[in-house]
Homo-oligomer: A and B are copies of this chain.
Amino acid sequence: MNIGIDVGGTNLVAGLIGDSGEVFFKKKQPTRAREGYETVLGRIEDLVEQVMAEMRGQSPESVGIGVPGIVSADGKTVVSCPNLFWENKPLKRDLEGKIHCPVYLANDATVAGLAENRFGSSQGCRDAVMFTLGTGVGGSVIVGGRVVNGVHGVASEFGHMIVGDGLYRCNCGKMGCLETYSSATAVIWLAKKRIEEGCETEILSMAGGDLEAVNAEMVINAAKNGDAVGLECFKSMADHLAIAISNLVDVLDPEICVLGGGVAHAGTFLLEAVQKSTAERITYKSLVKPEIVLATLENDAGLVGASCIKEYLYD
């Protein structure tokens, strides 16, 4: 049994996870990141102790933590975590000093990919990638049954792969990032632009006439209804994701590609569009039928994935 912790911008959640991915119980506290690293660290310690208290004298084998930022290649330091205002925080050492149990860190999108690989949609695949499609686009890479974090800890940042000439400048400063085509933010950006240009669409009325209230779900629902603007935004999202997937096939040729995150709640409508568009873009069409699937784990994926970070590290 391991403890998994999901460190989010809003909440901290810790849970005791069994060897088959079952969540025995979980504890939650608000993150309140503005109170500073030391205070949040204290809350994480507190959550671990709450979980341990229910273990009736048993000890967890390890504590795994998923963080919304970049973890150093050696797994010891949170290098950068803008949502939490953390920079170069030695979280592994700091928490191990308090709880006397091995601590493992990883990026939250990576952790989601591990959860899917161990207990979800890509189970049994030694070579798997996952896209987490939300406000941004995150990723996870597993090669030969091991997680790939990269020498600077910035591997699997799929959102910043350049997949076109670009519509608007990404937060990272580049033009053409996948995140500016295939995130919820990108879908909303393009829909608003078309509305401002005066294109006829049902999206604005879905948002009660308030441009600022437009969200990705509305745009995707409009696409499902055959609305021209909705379809354009949806197609741009799916097609650029397909470019990214076909580029990943050219690099890694993985067994499976998992789509998760809020945007993936569009379900088979998204899946089928991405499968079709990717099949058209694959380099060796006669050899490769890429397997693209939806994530199957829901809200606990962060906890469950964090609990198994250790299993995916190189010895």
Contact = CB atoms under 8 A, between A and B. Distances in A.
Given A144-B143, A157-B283, A247 B162 contact: yes
Contact of A150 (B172, B243, B253): B253
B250 A154 contact: yes
A156 interface: yes
A39 B80 CA distance: 59
A253 B153 contact: yes
Contacts of A276: none
Contacts of A193: none
Interface in A249-298: 249-255, 281, 283-284, 287-288
A285 B240 CA distance: 24
A111 interface: no
B243 A162 contact: yes
A141 B253 CA distance: 11
A287 B154 contact: yes
A158 interface: yes
A185 to B, nearest CB: 16
13 contacts: A141-B251, A143-B144, A144-B146, A150-B249, A150-B253, A154-B250, A154-B287, A155-B249, A159-B250, A161-B247, A161-B250, A162-B243, A174-B283
Do most interface residues of chain A lie in helix, strand or loop, or is the interface mixed? loop
Interface residues of A, number: 47
A166 to B, nearest CB: 10
List the 9 closest A-B pairs by CB distance, nearest first.
A150-B253, A155-B253, A160-B283, A161-B247, A151-B255, A157-B250, A143-B143, A152-B288, A154-B253
Interface string A233-256: 000000000010011111111110
A174 B288 CA distance: 15
Interface in A159-213: 159-165, 172, 174, 177
A162 B277 CA distance: 14
B70 A154 contact: no
Nearest to A255: B151
A287 B253 contact: no
Interface string A36-62: 000000000000000000000000000
A141 B252 contact: yes
A108 interface: no
Contacts of A150: 127, 249, 252-254
Given A144-B144, A162-B247, A174-B281, A152 B287 contact: yes
B253 A251 contact: no
A158 B250 contact: yes
Contacts of A248: 251
A127 B249 CA distance: 18
A17 interface: no
Contacts of A251: 139, 141, 155-156, 158, 161, 248, 251-252
